[in-house]
Amino acid sequence: MSDIKKFMFVNRKAPYGTIYALESLEVVLITAAFDQDVSLVFLDDGVYQLKKGQQTKGIETKNFSTTYRALEGYDIEKLYVEKESMDARGLTAEDLLVDVTVLTSKEMGELMGQQDVVLSF
Amino acid sequence: MLHIINRSVLGNAAFDSCLRVAAPGEILLIEDAVYAATKGNALEGKVREMQNRFKIHVLMPDLEARGLADRVIDGVSPVDYGGFVDLVAANKNCQSWL
Amino acid sequence: MKFGIVVNEGPYQHQSSDSAYLFCKAAIAKGHNVDRVFFYHDGVNNATKLTEPPQDDRNIVNRWSKLAEEHKVDLVVCVAAAMRRGIRDENLATGFRISGLGQLVEMGVQSDRLVVFGD
């Protein structure tokens, strides 16, 4: 495809409490098939989407967190987490189930400014 | 870049996060976020201070609907839906802080 | 300029569908094109023709249908989100069509600006 745009998905919501995280991930997977330049950003409660060890049996809901691990297979490798969001939740990069790039707020803001399409759900 | 905020800024992280993360640019307050643009709200000081980094706009039909159209903080620019469209068109990209 | 619009919330419950509609109308009035509105998450509930608001209230669904008819706006409802929520061809209002998420990505690629309305 000749039109390659920079797509950024901004995830600011925790999983399970609402469906946004799951349905957002479904868009990400489709976008990969369009050969676009895809970045995923995790801010605020969105960081919780990546927490290791999610066990959803007790709430009878599909555990979709393993899908984040599959993103690499779709050539989606740009995952960014804001340091301040992680710190505020007592989490470190070791708590996350995928490799991410940790950015400061300022770096995150600059990255946003460079995008063509910013999708938030 | 245009940042669109639609949630009440009191007790919601969207506005704070936007101010923390976003590079200098423009902010548009719509829906329940318009309360942030009114004099006397708890975040008025912050809104005034942030005007150094951001041009802040408020969607007037939303503020009128909420009965606070006469209390816009000085320097916050009032826009209608046409102005909203112009802001989106004038900025390279926009993000809704949902 | 070509605009693409995303609506993530259902009608009446949240203002996002109203905001999106009024934005589309203003954009069209200014001579811009709104090629497509993509309905996702609970936004798919904007597409059911079974909606029947009280007579003194706006009819959000009909308003979208009319916009599609008068200005050739492509109203696309995400199939996966729609099936989860019981939106089918049988109860689809005029002007809407059910299709895949690829339509959202395509809209992002093809439009000059994309605006998301949600909660």
Assign domain C2-117 to its CATH superfamily.
DsrEFH-like (3.40.1260.10)
CA dist., res. C60 & res. C46, Å (int): 7
Residue B51's CATH number: 3.40.1260.10
- Reported as a pLDDT band with limits 50, 70 and 90, residue A39 is very high
pLDDT at A1 over 80: no
Q: What is the pLDDT of residues C63-87, one digit of tens each?
A: 999 999 999 999 999 999 999 999 9
Q: Which of B4, B64, B88, B94 to mutate to test the interface with C (most CBs of C within 10 A)?
A: B88
Please say whether the beta carbons of B21 and B46 come within 8 A.
no
Whether residues C105 and A27 touch (CB distance < 8 A) is answered with yes
Residue C24 designated active-site:
no
Bridge-partner residues for C92, per DSSP? Answer: C48
ipTM of the prediction: 0.96
Which regions of chain C are under pLDDT 70?
Answer: none
Whether residues A19 and C8 touch (CB distance < 8 A) is answered with no
Q: What is the pLDDT of residues A47-106, one digit of tens each?
A: 999 999 999 999 999 999 999 999 999 999 999 999 999 999 999 999 999 999 999 999
Instruction: Give residue for tokens 């990069």.
Output: A93
Please say whether the beta carbons of C101 and A30 come within 8 A.
yes
CA dist., res. B35 & res. C67, Å (int): 30
pLDDT at B13 over 70: yes
From C2, which residue of chain B is nearest by alpha-carbon distance? Answer: B89
From C17, which residue of chain B is nearest by alpha-carbon distance? Answer: B31
Catalytic residue among C27, C78, C93, C107: C78
| pLDDT attached to residue B10 | 84
Q: Which domains does chain A have, with CATH numbers?
A: 6-120 (3.40.1260.10)
- Reported as a pLDDT band with limits 50, 70 and 90, residue A2 is low
Q: Which domain holds residue B14?
A: 2-96
The total number of structural domains in chain B stands at 1
